[in-house]
Structure 1
């Protein structure tokens, strides 16, 4: 945690997350002041940034060749992974809270209705779980560039293609589709509760895979 608050990348990612939410929610409120929920749902899109930050948790150590020092100072790799998952998940929740707060301020300032609390809570959960998934992905792939590029490609392209091939009934269980349902985005095919369970299962799968492969040789 001390490392995260004393280096610049997490703060840059947080600033970018706030900017994305502010622009998206503000634009939605200007065009549709009655759609408080649609504007607040933009807080979930900030989850991209804790996902990237989570990938950097371990993949960044492999990139900068500090992972050997980490494991020498703490030889119990399970403990290292547990600490990484715990800290970065908490930071992901912090990203979600800041993003939800930003959206809430914009909604209160310009929307006709009250705050959509369920949507804002879903956005916080989305940010939290994406941070955990990011840590697992970074631990498995190890290459920071490959992990980030692969995650972005999945979100931007691969899942859309998979949805076309599988059909909507199957595609709603894919991670990004589940995440958008959790965050209250329009057109969601799952309830928030079901979406939370599905995305939580993906996070647990990545965490479990990272622990199962923790004894791999260092590059």
Structure 2
């Protein structure tokens, strides 16, 4: 299994796409940190020198969820597009092992995206807080929980991408459908209808982050968001397994 996971990771990291997606993810994170730092305390936003504002600032580490999703999609749809999936299953006829290796590889890639976002957010956010007159004491248990949530959410969305890609197989269709859901519809539901959005993966991630829900709404408690994220991860893994194990690959 270790060799299979290593082979899947090699497929990912030998392509320029993963580095492009990582760059875009970090770019969106940087933009979010800069915007919140500049407009801190304006137009109803809490100052980053206060605990709630600092938490919102560090939550920007998770804005690149859609890019981790795209990488998960490419990990499986690229194989169908170029028909390398046939060679993969010839080398390893036990498809269940291949699926498990891909799921683990997706989780590793998602964790990497999450950690990279956290590092960038701290590198830019801590100086911004100090310049505004805040203190390092703002970085406490809530921020640590947020960082754990970012890593978990990134891993989840990478697995979601793999599941959708294995279901649709068509690379363009999977990316369009997935990005439309993650980046548009889900964000709208979480922002405008938190009573509904809190049950979606994005709402669960926000619950783990500990940020306040908009429009006076309420997210699930942190433990509830974590449990919901885990449930989604297991469901997505099951979808990826069933669609890959039972379908003809030609």
TM-score of the two chains, using structure 2 as the length reference: 0.80
- Displacement of 1:7 in angstroms is 1.6
Flag structure 2 segments of 5+ consecutive residues without an equivalent. 1-8, 41-47
Aligned to 1:26: 34
Contact 1:59 1:138 survives alignment (8 Å)? yes
Change (3 A) 1:66 1:157: same
SS in 2 for 1:41: helix
Equivalent residue, structure 1, for 2:231:
201
Q: Does 1:96 align with 2:114?
A: yes
- Report if aligned partners of 2:160, 2:233 keep a CA contact under 8 Å in 1: yes
- Pairing of 1:62-211 with structure 2 (within 5 A): 62-111=80-129, 112-113=134-135, 114-115=138-139, 116-159=143-186, 168-187=194-213, 189-211=219-241
1:113-149 CA deviation, whole Å, 9 max, x = no partner?
4322222221111111111221122112211111111
- Cα distance in 2 for partners of 1:120, 1:98 equals 11
- C-alpha separation in 2, matches of 1:62 and 1:124: 28
Q: Tell me whether 1:43 sits opposite 2:53 in the alignment.
A: no
| Mapped pair 1:8 → 2:26 | no
Q: What's the TM-score once normalised by structure 1's chain length?
A: 0.90
Aligned residue pairs, count: 218
Give the match's secondary structure for 1:75: coil
Shift of 1:194: 1.1
CA RMSD of aligned residues (A): 2.1
- Preserved CA contact (<8 Å) 2:159 2:233: yes
Structure 1 residue runs without a partner (length 5+):
none
